[in-house]
Structure 1
Amino acid sequence: MEKLRRHIEEITTVTDEEFAYIQTFFTKKRVLKNQFLIHEGDEVKYEFLVLSGLYKVFFLDEQGKEFIIQFAKENWWMSDYQSFFQEKKAGVFIECIEAGEVLFSTLDTREKLSHEFHKMEHFFRVKLTNGYVALQQRIKLLLSNTPQERFEAFATSYPDLILKLPKKIIAEYLGVSRETLSRLYSK
């Protein structure tokens, strides 16, 4: 739970007593490679904080083609947030690419912690805002940049993932074919 405390204290400080209470709202889970945390159609009760490992959030179109919305690595939060906040069925999958651990909690947990601790309300707001900003940047990149520019931005932002991930997965994330990605690598 020390990782959780460090993560919270990147934004706000908490006392030992506060943290002792806060940590009771989170549960740790080991996740195996290829294990799913969420399937499309599930009721989404949890959001997850990545302690270790690598995960992908994606959906499938009607033809079964995969579209990756997000990768999540250490200190990143993930869920199907539309489902999580609006109590709808999941529209995405979350799959573990590299085994690790997550902490998970419920919406009630978030609300209770936010109500009891202004610090935690601030923490969750900052995290949600940062996620929203990152999503806007990703959409802008996909809509207005060439495949070469998208690849360069990905390589600059996530040099560790370029080395870890299969090219097929990177191609899906960038919205290009496997062949196009191979050409981009060669440049």
Structure 2
Amino acid sequence: MDKLRKHIEEIISLSDEEFDHIKTFFTLKRVRKHQFLVQEGDVANHEYLILTGVFRMFYLDKEGKDHIIQFAGENWWMADYQAYFNRSIATLYILCMEDAEVLCTTLDGREKLSVDLHKMEHFFRVKLTKGYVALQQRIISLLSATPQDRYEEFGRLYPHLMQRIPKKYIAEYLGVSRETLSRLYSR
């Protein structure tokens, strides 16, 4: 739970009593490589803070091709947010890419925690806002940047993930073929 406190205190300060209350809303879960946190059709009850490991979130189209929406590593939050906030069925998959540990919280728990400690509402808003901005930047990059620019941006934004994610998934995330990624990588 020390990682949780450190993570939260990057944005807000906490007393020991406040943190003791906060940690009651989180459950530790160990996840094995190739294990799903969420699959299409699941009820998306949880949001996850990644303590260790790397995850891949993707959408599976009607032809069975997966489209990577995001990767997430340590200190990132992840959920099928459409399903989580709407209390509906998941349309995305979240797959563990290496053995990991995550902290889980429910929407009801998150809402109660935000009422109990207003500063946690601020914390969650800051985190969601940053995630939303990152998603918009990703969309703009996919629409307007060259493959070389997208590759360089990925390396600049996520250097800690470059060696942990297989190149085929990086290529898919960037919207390029594996061969194109190899050419970009060799430059």
Listed one character per residue, the Cα deviations across residues 58-84 of structure 1 (whole Å, up to 9, x for unaligned) are: 111111111111111111000000000
In the comparison of the two structures, how many residue pairs are matched?
A: 187
Identical aligned residues as a percent: 64
Match of 1:42 in 2: 42
Residue 137 of structure 2 is matched in structure 1 by 137
The answer for unaligned runs of 5 or more in structure 2 is: none
Given the alignment of the two structures, is residue 51 of structure 1 paired with residue 48 of structure 2, yes or no? no
The answer for the alignment partner of 2:81 in structure 1 is 81
Q: CA deviation at 1:156?
A: 1.2
Tell me which residue corresponds to 2:100.
Answer: 100
Conserved? CA contact 2:73–2:161, under 8 Å: no
Q: Secondary structure at the match of 2:122?
A: helix
Q: 59-68 vs 98-107, which deviates more? A: 59-68
TM-score (norm. length: structure 2): 0.98
Q: Residue 37 of structure 1: CA displacement?
A: 0.3
- Whole-Å Cα distance in 1 between the matches of residues 62 and 180 of structure 2? 23
Q: Is 1:62 paired with 2:62?
A: yes
1:154 corresponds in structure 2 to 154
Query: What whole-Å deviation, never above 9, does each CA across 1:106-159 have from its counterpart, x for those lacking one?
Result: 000110011111110100010010110111111111111011110110111112
Q: How do 1:114-129 residues align onto structure 2 when only pairs under 5 Å count?
A: 114-129=114-129
User: What amino acid sits opposite 1:24 in the alignment?
Assistant: T
**Other structure's SS at 1:83 match:** helix
> In the alignment, residue 109 of structure 2 is paired with which amino acid?
T
Residue 98 of structure 1 aligns to a residue whose secondary structure is coil
SS in 1 for 2:88: coil
Please list every run of 5 or more consecutive structure 1 residues that lacks an aligned counterpart in the other structure.
none
Give me the whole-angstrom Cα distance separating, in 2, the residues matched to 1:153 and 1:124: 26
CA distance in 2, matches of 1:2, 1:86: 31
* Aligned-partner Cα distance in 2 for 1:105–1:181: 37
Quote the offset at 1:7 in angstroms: 0.7
The alpha carbon displacement at 1:186 in A equals 1.8
Cα RMSD (Å) of the superposition? Answer: 0.8
Distance 2:106 2:185 in 1: 41
Cα distance in 2, alignment partners of residues 61 and 135 from structure 1: 20
Corresponding position of 2:28: 28
Corresponding letter in the other structure for 2:147? P
Q: In structure 1, give the amino acid aligned to 2:121.
A: E
Shift of 1:184: 1.1
Shift of 1:160: 2.3
TM-score, normalising length: structure 1: 0.98
- Structure 1, residues 22-55: CA drift from partner, whole Å, max 9, x if none? 1011000111100100001111000000000000
1:165 aligns with 2:165: yes
1:91 is paired with a residue whose SS is coil
